[in-house]
Amino acid sequence: MKQNNFYRRRLLLFLFLLPCFVFAQNTISGKVTSESGETVPFVNVIEKGTTNGTTTDIDGNYSIEMSTLPGTLVFSSLGFTTVEQAVSISETLNITMGESAQALDEVVITGLATSIERTNSANAVASLSAEDLVGKTPPPTLDGALYGKFAGAVVNQNSGAPGGGLSVKLRGATSLQGNVQPLYIIDGVYLDNSSLSAGLNAVSAAAAGGSASNQDNPTNRIADINPEDIANIEILKGASAAAIYGSRAAAGVIIITTKRGKAGETKYKFSQSVGWTEAINLLGVRDYTRQRVLDTFGEDAANDFVNAQNNGTLVDYEDEIFGEKGFIRLTNFNMSGGSLKTKYYAGVSHNNEEGIVRNTGYEKTSLRLNLDHKAKDWLKFNLSSNYIYSSSDRGFFNNDNSGTTIGVALTATRPWDGLLADGNGNYPDHPNNSSNPLQTRDLVTNNERVNRFIMGGTMNLDFYRGENSNLELVLRGGLDMYGQQSRAIFPKALQFQKPSNGGLNGVSVQGDTQNKNYNLSAFLVHNYFTDSDINFRTQAGLTNERFDRDTKLVTATGLVASETNVDQAANTGVVQTRVKQEDAGFFAQEEVNFQDKFIATVGIRGDKSSNNGDANAYNYYPKGSLAVNLNEFGFWNEGGTWSQFKLRAAYGEAGNFPPFGALFTSYGAFSTDGLLGISLRGVRGDKEINSERQKELEFGTDLGFFNGRLDFSATYYIKTVDDLILQSQLPPSTGFTTEFVNAGELQNKGIELSLNATPIVNDNFEWNIGVNWFKNKSEITRLDVEPFNVGAFGATLGTYRIEEGSSATQIVGIGPNPGPNGFQVFGDAEPDFQMGVNNNLRWKNIDLSFLWQWKSGGDNINLTALLTDLNGTSHDYDTIDLDPEGQLGNGPYRVSQLGSSAEVFVEDASYVRLREIGLYYTLESKMLGNVIGGAIDSVRIGLSGTNVLNFFDYNSYDPEVSNFGGGTIFTGVEVTPFPSSKRYLFHLGVNF
């Protein structure tokens, strides 16, 4: 039976390719099928040069009366390459349409189970293809591939440590103290993107000054996803597009679709890249002279300096630590293929990257198997599965209060300090600091290791297919499960671990996290077509998501001998943190498409969650949109200058959950001399707390000229976030320092422009250019609590301040000209605008592509310089260009400002970068001749780079930095980070 069917289809396929048979009359009829043998419904069939046309029915059949013969029929459909077929006589003409390479670019998600042609979309949804993501150069991590490629995203790297640690923020400030990172969904699976602390605070004491935030800078877990597996990414930037995702969607949704197999011959693809990474920018050493050393460090140091200078033993320790070249190897192999019924894609990849600091690195292995099975014509299953192992060694950096991190230790290190190990590998104690950074680098382990399993499955069932309507059921389930182990080992040999130096005699911090998310959903989709070409699409469904995370962090101090197990220790402490959440909801949506002229959508999502004050009350998130394709009204001739003129408007609402724990006022458990005790945590919860609600209105236009060779898109949005959840400060005399309240409103207004053009295209040469430009302005429009400072390290050093009528990310501090609130405004973390320029040039078999990214404006709080100033080691200590009176060197000037003005610590963090560049040469099979029996389809060789050119006027390694990770909008704070790096890679890719 099955065999029969198969042969019959093959026969049909064969027939389609035969020259046409001769029949009478002008009627042409036939069936349209795809290359994989499926019938293709709703294909536009048009007699070329006329308005005479029809569409194929649900079974792919069509029939058209030609006005003249001979003539040409044009078959076009979303996701397929347009076919033009000359016809001279009336006949049965069966057509096979090839799936278009850009197919995925042309649809955008509008429902939980449906998508819509881009030309009909009412939202500015950005899409990135595999080529966009990895075509120029393999990105270090998935989120690292998003820089500059579409309008509306601010991507920021928190640290230069290998293995990621990035934040992605869509369309400005979406929350002040709640989640600001988008929801990631891969093949229907809700992805966890946590950054789990490795517990380094036990040694660094970074939070000892009262900064509650995690300053460990761990990897965020989106880094686990292999960019090479991805077929396309869609970015729903705000509530107007993302309302269908309801209460998790306020920060936007990034929808990732992985590659899937195609029926036919098995295709293999192998690629290997090797290269290196090196620091973008090192600061250098202060220009020491004997007199300067004498003035700053005294007589003894001056003598040491002169001796070292005479002996040639001055050491540039910055270069010693950050000057390494890290070796990078990336290997990818995938195969895909299958039959008409069952298709598969299987991929394996292995990354091994060293950092620019010895003993740092990142290793990842990813295995993927995607299966599609068509059990019946009306029943389809697909499965995506992904196993990932990753291990990252991130070194010991960022802020501390103990002088132990490598960065802080470097600030106290002078070129004449003898820190190098002797022949036996023993390091001398640092004469001027509590730790020897070379020893720390070589002996400290800070590793996190993940085993992760992501699975998603979908079942599509066509209940009913009629003449002009059909009903489909979609069931979907997803599971994201991982175990993460972190190991931070500080052996007792370290200078700062020796008891004689006040050390803890060895510290071992080991964390174990088990995370399990799963989500289930079921939808019914009903399509109805009227004879006058109006399409009604109705969908309704249920959703359910559960999240469960359990972290145990064990801190052991006073290690036995050289043991690292946590039981081999004098003191052991355990912290367990559990996070559980359950959400349930429903979704309903109606789309009406009037002849592709008007496309209107209304929908609603209802969600309830265990994280809300009332777990079983629904929050409702409506949406509505309208797109008008003026070019479909027949004002312009087919093939004229205007190929698209669309006006669009969309409105939607979405939510953002209160942080877990916001509902509770609780004690923490502690001890005193072995006696247990519970003391208030200092945060007052609110049992009535609501989700934040984002309301976004966006409108814009999409214009196309010269048949798609020039496209322009403009979007303006107003995004209001109400019921802002604030951890508002309480008078500390209440016994609490903060409380969770719904107390404010925030507004973002922004413009996004993009332009794509193909100025030149001919057989030998093609040039594509894409430009995107966007800006966003945020403002706190209502604040029901007293204005308060937040983030960073207090007003003396510059801090963020939440105040009605001001930008959400304004930076204030003490200063000579304070406003009525007592603070002077020194800057704003929000950039004035950002811009990306993407060029692809192809000349014969050579491809050159490069991406420039420009961030203009936006300020950082840079404290690295100050810490070096206090130790007299700043590279610009003696340069005079800050002091308005031209008297003091930069170092003394910055120190003199301490306590009187924070201005000097707030710096412009603009940059221009050549983000990605790639040059490739492709050898096609005909050029390869009979190499390996002609089995090779193509070979691609090339070289590429990331962050190759960087321009900025910022007094540190890189303006892109965040001491506090990516969890909030208050991130541009720098304290002795891991410097950023650039990468160079050589590639070899073989398709066979």
Partner 1 sequence: MKKQIYKILFLLAVAGTLFSCDVEEFSDLNNPEVDAFNENLTRGDLQDLVGGILYSSRVRLGTYYDDCGVIGREYWRFSSSDPRFTSDLLGGENAVLDNNTFYITNPWAARYRTVKNANLILGFLDSQDLSAQFSNAEVAATRGLLQTFIGYELLLNLNLTNENGIRTDVADADNLGPIVSRTQALADIRNFLVAGAENLANGGPEFPFVLSSGFEGFNTPSSFLQANKAISARVAAYQGDMAAVRTFLDDSFLNLSSSDLNTGIYHNFSLNATDIANPMFFPLGATTAGARIMEPNFLADAEAGDFRVFGNPELNTLGKVVERESEITLDGLTGNYDVFVYPSQESSIPIIRNEELILLYAEANINSNPGEAIAALNLIRESAGLDPYTGDTDAAALTDEMLNQRRYSLYAEGHRWIDVRRYGRLDELPLARPEDDVFSQFPIPLTEGN
Closest to partner 1 by CB, 428 vs 794, is 794
Would you state the structure tokens that stand for residue 940, as one six-digit string?
A: 């691609």
Binding of residue 927 to partner 1 (CB under 8 A)? no
Give the count of residues interacting with partner 1 (CB under 8 A).
105
Is 520 a binding residue for partner 1 by CB under 8 A? The answer is yes
Of 95, 133, 408, 835, the one binding partner 1 (CB under 8 A) is: 408
Residue 557 sits in the site that holds partner 1 (CB under 8 A)? yes
Q: Which of 662, 605, 611, 721 is closest to 250 using CA atoms?
A: 721
- Binding of residue 577 to partner 1 (CB under 8 A): yes
Stretch that binds partner 1, among 46-54, 246-254, 427-435, 932-940 (CB under 8 A): 427-435
Closer to partner 1 by Cβ: residue 793 or 852: 793
- Using CA atoms, how far apart are residues 167 and 147, in angstroms rounded to an integer? 11
Q: Which of residues 722-781 bind partner 1 (CB under 8 A)?
A: 729-737
The rounded distance, in Å, linking the Cα atoms of 973 and 688 is 33
- Per CB under 8 A, 1 contacts partner 1: no
Q: Among 51, 311, 616, 762, which residue sits at the site for partner 1 (rule: CB under 8 A)? A: 616
Long-range CB contacts (within 8 A, 24+) of 961-964: 961/157, 961/158, 961/159, 961/860, 962/156, 962/157, 962/158, 962/159, 962/167, 962/217, 963/158, 963/215, 963/217, 963/398, 963/399, 964/211, 964/213, 964/214, 964/215, 964/791
Buried b (16+ CB within 10 A) or exposed e, 663-684: bebeeeeeeeeeeeeeeebbbb
Our finding on whether 196 is near partner 1 (CB under 8 A) is no
- Residue in 107, 741, 895, 990 binding partner 1, rule: CB under 8 A: 895
HEC string of 912-970 equals EEEEEEEEEEEEEHHHHCCHHHHCCCEEEEEEEEEEEEEECCCCCCCCCCCCCCCCCCC
Residue placing its CB nearer to partner 1 in the complex, 289 or 610 = 610
Q: Omega of the bond prior to 70 within 30 degrees of 0, cis?
A: yes
The one among 34, 332, 446, 609 contacting partner 1 by CB under 8 A: 609
Cα–Cα distance, 498 to 274 (Å, whole number): 41
Positions in 469-488 near partner 1 (CB under 8 A): 473, 475
Using rule CB under 8 A, residue 70 touches partner 1: no
C-alpha span between 618 and 599 (Å, rounded): 29
H/E stretch holding 255 reads strand 253-258
φ/ψ bin of 978: left (φ > 0), alpha (ψ from -120 to 50), beta (otherwise)? beta
- At residue 635, what are phi and psi to the nearest 5 degrees? -70, -35
Q: Which residues contact 446 (CB under 8 A, 6 or more apart)?
A: 198, 200, 393, 394, 395, 396, 487, 488
The distance of closest approach from Cβ of residue 486 to partner 1 in the complex, given in angstroms and rounded to an integer, is 16
Residue 376 in the binding site for partner 1 (CB under 8 A): yes
Q: Shortest approach of partner 1 to residue 644 CB, angstroms?
A: 41
Instruction: Tell me the closest approach of the beta carbon of residue 615 to partner 1, in angstroms.
Output: 4
Binding partner 1 by CB under 8 A: which of 502, 634, 639, 805? 502
The CA-based angle 601-603-607, given to 5 degrees, is 160
Beta carbon of residue 374, minimum distance to partner 1 (angstroms, whole number): 13
Under rule CB under 8 A, residue 461 binds partner 1: yes
Closest CA to 872 of 891, 896, 898, 848: 891
- Nearer to partner 1 (CB atom), residue 306 or residue 923: 306
Picking from 976, 743, 771, the residue whose alpha carbon sits closest to that of residue 863 is 976
Interactions with partner 1, residue window 622-661 (CB under 8 A): 661
Cβ closer to partner 1: 323 or 573? 573
Half-sphere exposure (Cβ direction) of 703: Cα atoms closer than 13 Å: 12
Interface with partner 1, residue 887, by CB under 8 A: no
C-alpha distances in Å from residue 898, one per residue of 186, 797, 815, 895, 903: 48, 7, 10, 5, 10
In whole angstroms, how close is the CB of 771 to partner 1 at the nearest point? 44
Give, in degrees to the nearest 5, the angle at Cα 752 between 747 and 755. Answer: 180
In angstroms, what is the minimal distance from the CB of 899 to partner 1? 2
Closer by beta carbon to partner 1, 272 or else 581:
581
Choose which of 229, 480, 583, 698 interacts with partner 1 (CB under 8 A): 583
Provide the minimum distance between the beta carbon of 209 and partner 1 in the complex, in angstroms, as a whole number: 5
Handedness of CA 733, 737, 740, 745 (dihedral sign): positive
| 796 binds partner 1 per the rule CB under 8 A | yes
Q: Which long-range contacts (CB under 8 A, 24 or more apart) does 891-896 make?
A: 891/286, 894/865, 894/866, 894/869, 895/866, 895/869, 895/870
Contact segment (CB under 8 A) with partner 1 among 348-356, 446-454, 568-576, 708-716 equals: 568-576
> Min. distance of Cβ 417 from partner 1 in angstroms?
11
382 binds partner 1 (CB under 8 A): no
Tokens of 17: 């390719």
The residue from 608, 693, 875, 913 that contacts partner 1 (CB under 8 A) is 608
Q: How far apart, in whole angstroms, are the C-alpha atoms of residue 202 and residue 217? A: 14
- Is 421 a residue that touches partner 1 (CB under 8 A)? no
Is residue 290 at the binding interface for partner 1, with CB under 8 A as the rule? no
The minimum distance between CB 648 and partner 1, in angstroms, equals 34
572 sits near partner 1 (criterion: CB under 8 A) = yes
**Segment 338 to 367, residues that bind partner 1, using CB under 8 A:** none
**Binds partner 1 by CB under 8 A, chosen from 63, 900, 931, 935:** 900
CA 550 to chain CA centroid, Å, is: 25
Single out the residue of 898, 941, 948, 949 in contact with partner 1 (rule: CB under 8 A).
898
Nearest distance, CB of residue 663 and partner 1, angstroms: 8
- Binding residue (CB under 8 A) for partner 1 from 156, 258, 434, 838: 434
Give strand pairing partners of 700.
648, 715
Q: Is 615 in the site for partner 1 (CB under 8 A)?
A: yes
Site string for partner 1, 669-698 (x = CB under 8 A): xxxxxxxxxxxxxx-x--------------
Pick between residue 331 and residue 729 the one whose CB is nearest to partner 1: 729
Q: Per this entry, what is the length of the chain? A: 992
Tell me how far, at minimum, the Cβ of 282 lies from partner 1, in Å: 21
Coil/strand/helix, residue 87: strand
What Å distances lie between residue 364 and 146, 165, 990, CA to CA?
20, 15, 22
Residue 87 vs 863, nearer CB to partner 1: 863
* Buried b or exposed e, range 394-423, using 16+ CB within 10 angstroms: bbbbbbbebbbbbbbbbbbbbbbbebeeee
Nearer to partner 1, 882 or 917 (CB): 882
Residue 819 engages partner 1 in binding (rule: CB under 8 A): no
Q: How far apart are CA 216 and CA 205, in angstroms?
A: 11
Our finding on whether 524 is near partner 1 (CB under 8 A) is no
State the Cα–Cα distance between residues 831 and 829, nearest whole angstrom: 6
In the complex, minimum distance from the CB of residue 563 to partner 1, in angstroms, rounded to a whole number: 17
* Residue of 399, 619, 694, 772 that binds partner 1 (CB under 8 A): 399
- Stretches 69-77, 311-319, 790-798, 878-886: which one binds partner 1 (CB under 8 A)? 790-798
Nearest CA-CA partner of 334 in 219, 256, 229: 229
Q: Which is nearer to partner 1, 650 or 730 (CB)?
A: 730
